[in-house]
Amino acid sequence: MSGETFDVVILGGGSGGYATALRAAQLDLSVVLIEKDKLGGTCLHRGCIPTKALLHAGEVADQTRESDAFGIKAELIGVDMAGVNAYKDGVVAKLYKGLQGLVKSAKITYVEGTGRLVAPDTVEVDGTRYTGRNVVLATGSYSRTLPGLELDGKRVISSEHALNLDRVPSSAIVLGGGVIGVEFASAWRSLGSEVTIVEALPRLLAAEDEEASKTVERAFRKRGIGFKTGKPFEKVEQTESGIRVTIAGGETLEAELLLVAVGRGPTTANLGYEEQGVKMDRGFVLTDERLRTNVPNVFAVGDIVPGLQLAHRGFQQGIFVAEEIAGKNPAPIDEAGIPRVTYSDPEVASMGLTEAKAKEKYGADKVQAYNYNLGGNGKSQILRTQGFVKLVRLVDGPVVGVHMVGARVGELVGEAQLIYNWEAYPAEVAQLVHAHPTQNEALGEAHLALAGKPLHAHA
């Protein structure tokens, strides 16, 4: 035993776990944070941050290729993957060092090692037991694969393997047209790879608004990224030079490697959760809207809780749970109010309900949508990007969905979040003055049009 009972024992030091720890420490609670790998978890070390660094390196390569369109004479001589990896790893290292400093200065008891829930109030790490008045489960997720499809880390790889490649693959098949698959396909194409996406569902980014999917597919065709939608995977075989994938209908595709990007599963197996009576469903930990499990004083946050597997969801859930434990009675988190961004080229950013979901929920006659094309936005023309801002509103009511496609639109999702979460009406947003020329102005223009007074748009 550690000999001390803590206010909060947290199993997992990723986005949800460390956010819980930092906020709990701010609220003068005694905290132990247990992590088997590196503080920061998947997002910092093997997910969000390194992936976006890879995408940005690809963007620099594309800008170099296209520089003549801006009157700049430049030539892309090649891609130094060692240099790209050094840049990527440097970004991660700097953030990791900063996070370690935050946790240390917060006087959080940090424990390195594999923890296991051995009682409803106790986590054991290498023979030492840490007991808490409250326990928070935050063990994150892992890269899934399909039954019978084994990852060898060389020719059949996960996103974690992909981030550590010492070369740009000459060709790649990406299995999965969701966020992870689309982002890697975009990055590799920018760095010079021939890429084909295989997706069982009818369209890429199937969780997004259908118009967003169509726009991304159109842009990918133009960029030379192939994709096969509505085509389930059947098998993969090794060849002399790589792999051969067979998809529905018997069609075969060949490439140097196969990236399996079919989603992420909850890391909950063999951690003692079920033995201690925690209610589970297909490996996920079930909670109520206050993130309480069915076991008293045991909470869960992040990717192990059913819903969007996003770092910023984990951050907010961690803050929420710390405040709940401290008796602050925070407002429950609205899952539909969490921003979603896909960092491909073009980017996709969205809030709230798609047009289809809104019609399903409220009825087709109660929903109105408007699509503002970025062709009318000055800054987007300067950037030479195409796309749109689409609003979904209730007739004579608030905006219930915002969907954007185009370069850098991920940076616009902050205002979109306010519009959705504050249940703004188009006329209210139309009153706000948006700076010119900015892409942010496109949000204002879309609301002007939906309010019945379009400026740089047709009525």
Q: Is 303 annotated as a binding residue?
A: yes
Q: Is 307 annotated as a binding residue?
A: no
Q: Is 397 annotated as a binding residue?
A: no
| pLDDT over 60 (residue 421) | yes
State the pLDDT at residue 255: 98
Q: What mean pLDDT is reported for the chain?
A: 97
Mean pLDDT of 205-210: 98
Give the residue numbers marked as catalytic: 436
Place of tokens 């996709």: 348
Q: Is 321 annotated as a binding residue?
A: no
Q: Is 127 annotated as a binding residue?
A: no
State the pLDDT at residue 458: 80
The model's confidence at residue 131, banded by pLDDT at 50, 70 and 90, is very high
State the pLDDT at residue 3: 66
What domains can be seen in the chain, in order of their start residue? 5-142+265-335 (3.50.50.60), 156-262 (3.50.50.60), 346-451 (3.30.390.30)
State the pLDDT at residue 4: 84
pLDDT tens across 21-46, in order? 999 999 999 999 999 999 999 999 99
State the pLDDT at residue 1: 53
pLDDT tens across 56-105, in order? 999 999 999 999 999 999 999 999 999 999 999 999 999 999 999 999 99
pLDDT tens across 340-380, in order? 999 999 999 999 999 999 999 999 999 999 999 999 999 99
Q: Is 283 annotated as a binding residue?
A: no
Q: Is 141 annotated as a binding residue?
A: yes
Q: Is 177 annotated as a binding residue?
A: yes
Give percent above pLDDT 70 in the chain: 99
What is the SS3 assignment for the chain? CCCCEEEEEEECCCHHHHHHHHHHHHCCCCEEEEECCCCCHHHHHHCHHHHHHHHHHHHHHHHHHCHHHHCCCCCCCCCCHHHHHHHHHHHHHHHHHHHHHHHHHCCCEEEECCEEEEECCEEEECCEEEEEEEEEECCCEEECCCCCCCCCCCCEECHHHHCCCCCCCCEEEEECCCHHHHHHHHHHHHCCCEEEEEECCCCCCCCCCHHHHHHHHHHHHHHCCEEEECCCEEEEEECCCCEEEEECCCCEEEECEEEECCCEEECCCCCCCCCCCCCEECCEECCCCCCECCCCCEEECHHHCCCCCCHHHHHHHHHHHHHHHCCCCCCCCCHHHCCEEECCCCEEEEEECCHHHHHHHHCHHHEEEEEEEHHHCHHHHHHCCCCEEEEEEECCCCEEEEEEEECCHHHHHHHHHHHHHCCCCHHHHHCCCCCCCCCHHHHHHHHHHHCCCCCCCCC
Q: Is 452 annotated as a binding residue?
A: no
Q: Is 52 annotated as a binding residue?
A: yes
Q: Is 192 annotated as a binding residue?
A: no
Mean pLDDT of 402-412: 97
